[in-house]
Amino acid sequence: MSALAAVDRWLTAPVPGRRYEVLRLLLAGFAAVYLTLRLPAFWAIGDQAATAFEPLGVLSVLGAPPPGPLGRAIPLVALVASLAALSGRAWRAVGPLWAVSLLVLATWRSSWGQVIHHEHLLVLHAAVLAAAPAGRSVAAGALEADRASGWHLRLMALLTVATYVLAGVAKLRLGGTDWLSGEILRNHIASNALRLELLGAPGSPVAGEIASLPLLLSVAAPAAVLLELATPLLLIGGRVRNVGAALVWAMHVAIGVAMWVGFPYHVVPLALAPFFAVERPVDELLSRLRR
């Protein structure tokens, strides 16, 4: 069997249809909660000076930022679309609308110079899930009878892997040996703590202590790069996937502790959801609740 045929078999191997439905519930539910909590911050984006607006991507056709009310409508549309996606009704129409609304919102934020990476991975996952049979309601316990092509799921996993690999490559390309020595990581932690202090925002209470531990940073910095570059191993599955996913999650928790920088989509951790049979714990919980 040729390599291309093997890749095709891996990409299209069927998965329980219920898995797509549960992924839709998880991702749309996360988006709805996240947008609700962050709505004031999204509304405040358009209050900046018009000179700060540099339209990117799908918004590059704009010569100037839209009027205030229209800018405030962008996150509201994304929130309503997320709630509609959560319901799963009329998925062929709602799914693409949801994905496009998230894309426009993330591009809107980035066009004002504020790039939030975890939002971008959610946008990519939503775009793939919008093309999947995620709106179907499949009864728990009939998983084997209802199968669907797994290419959407595996593409979502590949997108997650790509984001980590690119992050690792960027660290080496921009920081080189200084990153591996822990020096750049120490500077990141220290400068972030100082910035938060100057802004009067809460920061990590242990940032100073961590930045003063060169031995710890000299181990943590290369370990982070190695872990990011090794994320393709998650595609193997089994214990390798489980251990790797646990380490990736722990890395995000450590970043949050050291820098007070949250990656909610990763910490939840929905960024890794496409690697797992997410329907099993959900259906087990539902069965227990019914009993």
Question: 162 is written with which tokens?
Answer: 């790509």
- pLDDT band at residue 262 using 50, 70 and 90 as cut-offs: confident
How does the average pLDDT of the chain come out, rounded? Answer: 90
pLDDT at 177: 81
Over 70: is that where the pLDDT of 141 sits? no
In this prediction, residue 284 carries a pLDDT of: 84
Average pLDDT over residues 260-268: 89
Supply the pLDDT for residue 69: 86
pLDDT, position 1: 57
Residue 2, in any domain of the structure: no
Residue 161 CA to chain centroid, in angstroms? 11
Query: Within 13 Å, how many C-alpha atoms sit on residue 65's CB side?
Result: 24
Mapped to the 3 state alphabet, what secondary structure does 9-36 carry?
A: HHHHCEEEHHHHHHHHHHHHHHHHHHHH
In a domain, 4, yes or no: no
pLDDT at residue number 125: 98
Spatial contact of 78 and 105, defined as CB atoms under 8 Å apart: yes
Boundary residue ending a domain (122, 149, 176): 149
Burial code of 153-185, b = ≥16 C-beta within 10 A, e = fewer?
bbbbbebbbebbeeebeebeeebeeebbbbbbb
Contact 16, 143 (CB under 8 A): yes
Question: Do 39 and 78 belong together in one domain?
Answer: yes
CB neighbour class for 82 (10 Å; exposed up to 12, middle 13-18, buried from 19):
buried
In this predicted structure, the answer to whether residue 17 has a pLDDT above a threshold of 60 is yes
Which domain range does residue 216 map to? 150-260
Q: Are residues 21 and 145 in the same domain?
A: yes
Domain shared by 235 and 115, yes or no = no
| Domain-terminating residue out of 114, 149, 184 | 149
148 DSSP β-pair partners: 15
pLDDT-derived band of residue 144, with 50, 70 and 90 as boundaries? very low
- Condensed to tens digits (0 to 9), the pLDDT of residues 150-197 reads 999 999 999 999 999 999 999 999 888 888 889 899 998 988 888 888
> What CA dihedral angle connects 32, 34, 37 and 40, to 10 degrees?
-100
Confidence of residue 137 (pLDDT cuts 50, 70, 90): low
Q: Is a pLDDT exceeding 80 seen at residue 138?
A: no
Q: Which residue has the higher pLDDT, 114 or 258?
A: 258
Contact 145, 8 (CB under 8 A): no
At 74 the pLDDT is: 95
**Is there a domain that residue 291 lies in?**
no
Residue 85: inside a domain = yes
Q: Is residue 82 one of the residues assigned to a domain?
A: yes
Q: Evaluate whether 83 touches 32 at the Cβ level (below 8 Å).
A: yes
Distance from the first to the final alpha carbon of the chain: 48
> What residues have CB less than 8 Å from 24, skipping those under 6 apart?
85, 86, 88, 91, 129, 134, 135
User: In this model, does residue 145 exceed pLDDT 60?
Assistant: no
Residue 22 pLDDT > 50, yes or no? Answer: yes
Q: What is the pTM of this model?
A: 0.91
Residue 138 exposure: Cα atoms within 13 Å on the Cβ side: 26
Instruction: Select from 149, 175, 202 the last residue of a domain.
Output: 149
If one compares 5 and 94, the residue with the highest pLDDT of the two is: 94
Please give the radius of gyration of the chain, using alpha carbons only, rounded to the nearest integer.
21
Residue of 239 and 68 predicted with greater confidence: 239
User: What would the pLDDT profile of 23-63 be if each residue is shown by its tens digit?
Assistant: 999 999 999 999 999 999 999 988 888 888 999 999 999 88
pLDDT for residue 140 is more than 60 = no
- Looking at the 3D structure of the chain, how many domains does it have? 2
The reply to whether 252 falls in a domain is yes
- Does the pLDDT of residue 201 top 80, yes or no? no
